[in-house]
Amino acid sequence: MALSTSFSDPLFLGYVFVFAAAAIGCFASLAKVDAVEDTDTRWGLYTLLLTSGAWATTHVGYLLVPTPSFQYGFYLAGLIVGFAAVGPWLYFCSAYTGRSLHRDATLRRIALGVYLAVVAVKLTNPWHGQYFTSEIATVPFPHLAVFHQPIHWLVMALAYSLAVVGFFMLYELFFQVGGDTKPLAVLVALTGLPVVLDVLGAVSPVVLQFTYSPIGVAAFAIGVLFVFLDRFQRVQLAGATDDPVVMLDDDGEVWDYNRPALRLFPSLDGAIGERLEAVDPRFADFVANEEELIEVDRGGDARYYQLSANPFTTGHARIGRAITLTDVTHRERYRQELERQNERLEEFAGMISHDLRNPLNVATGRIELAREEQESEHLEAARNALDRMEALIEDVLALARQGQPIDEPEAVELSSIARRSWDMVESDGAELRIESDRRVRADPDRLQQQFENLFRNSIEHGGTDVTVTVGDLSDGFYVEDDGPGIPEEERERVFESGVTTESDGTGFGLAIVKGIADAHGWTVGITDGDSGGARFEFRNVTLLDN
């Protein structure tokens, strides 16, 4: 039986035109999707347009085919393709708003399972008729009228609920970003507006029982990709972080900003299109001078932000910059406090050095005078005790200085620093081998102090016939000896202050070694040397080409 639909019927032609336009709009927009920067957002939008375009095409086919059986087939195909569009919609919304729901493997498996189950119910509808029934109708024009059954309404409730989740994600982002997001909010509203026709189709015989969502998707796609693409991408970038973000074009005009930026710089309110230097000259100076750390007063409380500027592009063309400010107040205050503590520690160490060395020098002089008058083992013991106190004072000073950061490291040769350090150590019959011609970036004085402590440690534990080797690692250098080595269970403790196995040792030498490594940003570890002795490995060292 053929349907006698008249192509002169304006309402019929209106239906065909609207859905054909929706299909063309969706498919035509596919060519513009590549301009979207974010990969996940681009993929979500692409699949949404593809499924929505196919969905609108099934509606056009339903209207144009001449027989009820073909109309039944196109309508069923539309139900399957239409439900498939829910997934891309949620994928797009999740990706655009910076969420990770679209990457959740469990959610994707559940979604696929639900989709296949619903498709199975729809495909078998000709046998069970529990999804929809149909009959020939003449209003508003001859067509195969569809009457939905309870299963359809359950599936529709699920689909609309999921669609609402996507709307919530988008509008939440628009609210958080602030700025001029109204055009995008209107476009998103257009996407959901056709639901009004869905409701009318369920209660009025004049409106066909279609799902009119492809019309909204087409309007959204055309608006976003052809009219508001720059704004669409700026909003995504500004909403991708909770940090303040200000978008500037290449002429320095304020293009957009998010709410955290507005709270930090209230003068941005209503400043879109104005030059930043006119809106906030101090902030503009920070940007122009490429300041990395800036201080901002917030109600009498100084906050510190790390400023970074990243190019903003559409397709392959740069169109502006995104200025992001990351709150590093806690880190900066900790650094300042550490700096003050180091200064106080330096003052304390200097005071100890001055106040102890003076009486120490007097005592040493008195002992020498007494020894000239009379030799005594007691005088020798006293002199040894004073020498040990002198060594302790030197180590206390070294410990006070070793944690201070390295402000201006230099290019130094390991071999020359190692030889200079060896000359400062009482090596007796010990031997130094240097198997490195490497240059590194370091503080030469602190590096020499580090080598001296390592060499003394090797001689104290390995004896006067020990051989000490300085060599290269892929990302640093090592110092090893052929002495007795350090037991594995003791290797962590030896870096602690006061830990020593020698009766005349201070226990500070290796603590100083680790402190100097930390100050450079190096790591230090202990392992076995090639000859079974101790091997100290320094890694994460800045290496320089020879």
The domain boundary residue, chosen from 179, 206, 236: 236
Q: List pLDDT tens digits, range 78-97.
A: 999 999 999 999 999 999 98
Specify if 1 maps to a domain.
no
Same domain assignment for residues 462 and 387: no
Same domain assignment for residues 218 and 259: no
The CATH number of the domain where 296 resides is what? 3.30.450.20
Q: List pLDDT tens digits, range 480-505.
A: 999 888 888 887 787 776 555 554 54
The pLDDT score that the predictor gives to residue 408 is 80
280, 294 in Cβ contact below 8 A?
no
Q: Rounded to whole angstroms, how far apart are CA atoms 433 and 429?
A: 13
The domain boundary residue, chosen from 369, 404, 439: 404
Q: List pLDDT tens digits, range 273-282.
A: 889 888 898 8
The pLDDT score that the predictor gives to residue 51 is 96
Instruction: Considering only residues 500 and 479, tell me which one the structure prediction assigns the higher pLDDT.
Output: 479
Q: Rounded to whole angstroms, how far apart are CA atoms 159 and 176?
A: 26
Q: Rounded to whole angstroms, how far apart are CA atoms 296 and 512?
A: 38
Choose the most confident range, by mean pLDDT, from 321-335, 359-373, 497-511. Answer: 321-335
Number of structural domains, the chain? 4
Q: Rounded to whole angstroms, how far apart are CA atoms 410 and 446?
A: 11
Instruction: Produce one character per residue of 414-442: b if its CB has 16 or more CB atoms within 10 Å, e if not.
Output: beebbeebbeebebeebebebebebbbeb
DSSP state of 307: E
Q: Rounded to whole angstroms, how far apart are CA atoms 93 and 375?
A: 92
Same domain assignment for residues 259 and 299: yes
* Domain interval for residue 200: 10-236
Q: Rounded to whole angstroms, how far apart are CA atoms 367 and 361?
A: 10
In sequence order, which residues have a C-beta less than 8 Å from that of residue 36 and are 6 or more positions away?
A: 42, 45, 225, 229, 232, 233
Same domain assignment for residues 204 and 306: no
Specify if 5 maps to a domain.
no
Q: List pLDDT tens digits, range 398-430.
A: 666 555 667 688 999 999 999 998 988 887 788
The pLDDT score that the predictor gives to residue 335 is 83
The pLDDT-based confidence of 354 (bands split at 50, 70, 90) is low
Q: Which helix (H) or strand (E) holds 326?
A: strand 317-327
What average pLDDT does the structure give for the chain?
A: 85
The domain boundary residue, chosen from 368, 388, 404: 404
